[in-house]
Amino acid sequence: MKKILICLFAFGSLLCGSCSDWLEVYPKNEQITANYWKAKEDVEAVLASGYSSLRACTRTLVDWGELRGASIYAYSDTKKQKLQNFQITASDALCSWASIYNILNMANSVIKYAPEVQAKDKTYLQVTMNSHLSEAYFLRGLCHFYLVRNFKEAPIVTEPYVDDSAPYDIAKSSEEDIIAQIKSDIQTALDTGAAKEFFEDDKWEGASKGRATKWALYALMADVCLWSEDYDGCIEYANQLINATASRRPVFMAVPEQWITIFTQGNSNESIFEINWDEKNFAQQEENKGTSPSYYFTLSATAPYLYTEAMCEDLYNENIENGAGDLTASVRAKWGAYADLDATGTADKKQYCIWKYKGSEYQDLSQVRPNDDANYIIYRMTEILLMKAEALIWKGAANYEEALEIINKVRNRARLKDLDLTAESVTEEEMLQAVLHERNIEFAAEGKRWYDLVRFGKTKNYRYKDSFIETIVTYNSTANVSWIRSVLSNEYAWYLPINQSEIDSNLLLVQNPYYAGVTD
């Protein structure tokens, strides 16, 4: 059988590091055999490889979370353009879920075999095992959440594929069942009581947000609750973060000048969970090269990804129209979120580059990161605030005042004035559009936009489906308007097709109905 080399990342940190130790595992493909599990170091190694696999698929997470949302677009990659123009088919590699199920397999292996290792290895303490299990449950929940948001229905996999006797043919589960599984996994992780607040023993100093903590579990649960219209649950878990008093808790960084450090330095106090890179101190593995956001969000008119024209207008107008006055005054706009190629901010609003991952300083276009190793943030505290605001809006008009206070808190951090809205006269859709706009600017190119729009469009039995479609029409400048409206009128087109290779090899899989008759 083919050997698989698993790099021993120190206790699972997400740094893309060179490795001094290697484990030889002798399963087939991505299998990890039952004979492998003997000591706690074996558990740590597989958990680490799960994190490493998450890092390796970061670019897929960007593509899935951004391109259809049309705030950024692929400049020249025709395969990615098919995704952003809603022309993807089952034969396209971008709809492959293999990388996500690979991470799932690592997490499932830890969940299944860690207790057996703990019985064999007397140095493997119960509390340490439970901490590892909480991380594995987080990874499993996060993977299933990416699957349900992109495919709607997908197989739930909770057992590792360790040998050829394991069943490969697994039918899809419903969205409701997947959500229930995710919530169960998160609750199981929290119930261990061993999910850490901070990793004191992380061997790579500064990568403290690269492993799943109690805070990451709260963030994931709040996100899942918001997606599934469990607004009380979303608020409950958001408040676990917002109202926390622990000394190592993540916090909303209210000082405007600190905003850019969330990206330039990484692992900030605001961060909850992020994927780490460090090319200078820990040379990237070849298979992970080019996966950091700063590698493909470049300062060029032909960068792989650029802001769309409508998004450029949003970034530009926010400064001018909402009180900042000076183009450089709003910390998340010019030379924060974006850089314009002529450095004037006015000449060509069609050519704004994504700067937050590329720059090393605020308001200094010459200060480009020396290495392509910016971190990719999955959750940070600003998102928790805006999750709560959105949940409050969906709960009804009695909560609009509190939601506005939260939105304005985020805006004020960006040196922007309060929204010109009053809770007494505003409509539900106006409130939702306000939070959507805030998320679009605040989380630009962070892999959030498409999920935000789908959540807006599908909630309350597709109450705002038409507004969802018109938003895509407004921002997407690369596809025909009639085509966009026609495609998105079918809700199944909001999700990806199952890759044809999966359909061919799993006899129980049924294709997404929209793509059943679609061919290249």
Tens digit of each residue's pLDDT (9 = 90 or more) over 80-107: 999 999 999 999 999 999 999 999 999 9
pLDDT of residue 428: 99
pLDDT of residue 5: 26
pLDDT of residue 290: 65
Burial (CB count within 10 angstroms: exposed 0-12, middle 13-18, buried 19+), residue 365: middle
Cβ neighbors of 369 (< 8 A, separation 6 or more) are: 264, 294, 357, 358, 359, 360
Q: Which amino acid, one-letter code, is at 294?
A: S
Give the residue with greater pLDDT, 284 vs 369. 369
Sketch the domain layout of the chain as residue ranges. Answer: 36-161+173-194+492-519, 399-491
> CA 216 → CA 126, 142, 211, 223, 318, distances in Å?
21, 10, 9, 11, 31
Query: How much is the average pLDDT of 43-57?
Result: 94
pLDDT of residue 287: 47
Ranking 65-79, 148-162, 235-249, 345-359 by mean pLDDT, the lowest is: 345-359
Q: Please say whether the beta carbons of 231 and 394 come within 8 A.
A: yes
- The pTM of the full predicted model, rounded to 2 decimals, is 0.91
Q: Which amino acid, one-letter code, is at 394?
A: W
Third-level CATH fold of 36-161+173-194+492-519 = 1.25.40
- CA 123 to CA 38: how far, in whole Å? 12
Angle at 494 between CA 69 and CA 177, to 5 degrees: 120
Q: How much is the CA Rg of the chain, to the nearest whole Å?
A: 22
Give the residue with greater pLDDT, 31 vs 419. 419
Q: Which of 479, 501, 454, 491 is nearest to 92 (CA)?
A: 501
In the structure encoding, which two tokens stand for residue 27, read together? 């399963």
Q: What is the DSSP string of 78-135?
A: HHHHHHHTT---TT-GGG--HHHHHHHHHHHHHHHHHHHHHHH-TTS-HHHHHHHHHH
Question: Tokens 């206070």 — which residue?
Answer: 405
Q: Please say whether the beta carbons of 74 and 298 come within 8 A.
A: no
- Residue 7 banded pLDDT, cuts 50, 70, 90: very low
pLDDT of residue 25: 32
Q: Is the pLDDT of residue 376 over 80?
A: yes
Angle at 322 between CA 405 and CA 444, to 5 degrees: 75
Q: Please say whether the beta carbons of 297 and 73 come within 8 A.
A: no
Give the residue with greater pLDDT, 318 vs 413. 413
In the structure encoding, which two tokens stand for residue 173, read together? 């589960």
pLDDT of residue 323: 52
Q: Is the pLDDT of residue 286 over 90?
A: no
Question: Tokens 């809770």 — which residue?
Answer: 423
Tens digit of each residue's pLDDT (9 = 90 or more) over 489-516: 999 999 999 999 999 999 999 999 999 9
Ranking 16-25, 58-67, 223-232, 443-452 by mean pLDDT, the lowest is: 16-25
Tens digit of each residue's pLDDT (9 = 90 or more) over 262-285: 998 889 999 999 998 876 555 444
Query: How much is the average pLDDT of 329-335?
Result: 70
- Residue 202 banded pLDDT, cuts 50, 70, 90: low
Query: How much is the average pLDDT of 52-71?
Result: 96
Ranking 34-38, 228-232, 421-425 by mean pLDDT, the lowest is: 34-38
CB-CB neighbours of 376 under 10 Å: 25
* φ and ψ at residue 4, rounded to 5 degrees: -115, 125
Q: What is the residue-averaged pLDDT of the chain?
A: 86
State which H helix or E strand residue 212 sits in.
Answer: none
Q: Is the pLDDT of residue 449 over 50?
A: yes
pLDDT of residue 229: 99
Q: Is the dihedral of CA 435, 440, 444, 447 positive or negative?
A: positive
Q: Which of 155, 157, 159 is nearest to 173 (CA)?
A: 155
In the structure encoding, which two tokens stand for residue 473, read together? 């029409």
pLDDT of residue 185: 99
Tens digit of each residue's pLDDT (9 = 90 or more) over 163-200: 777 778 999 999 999 999 999 999 999 999 999 999 87
Cβ neighbors of 221 (< 8 A, separation 6 or more) are: 183, 186, 187, 233, 237
Ranking 53-67, 279-293, 345-359 by mean pLDDT, the lowest is: 279-293
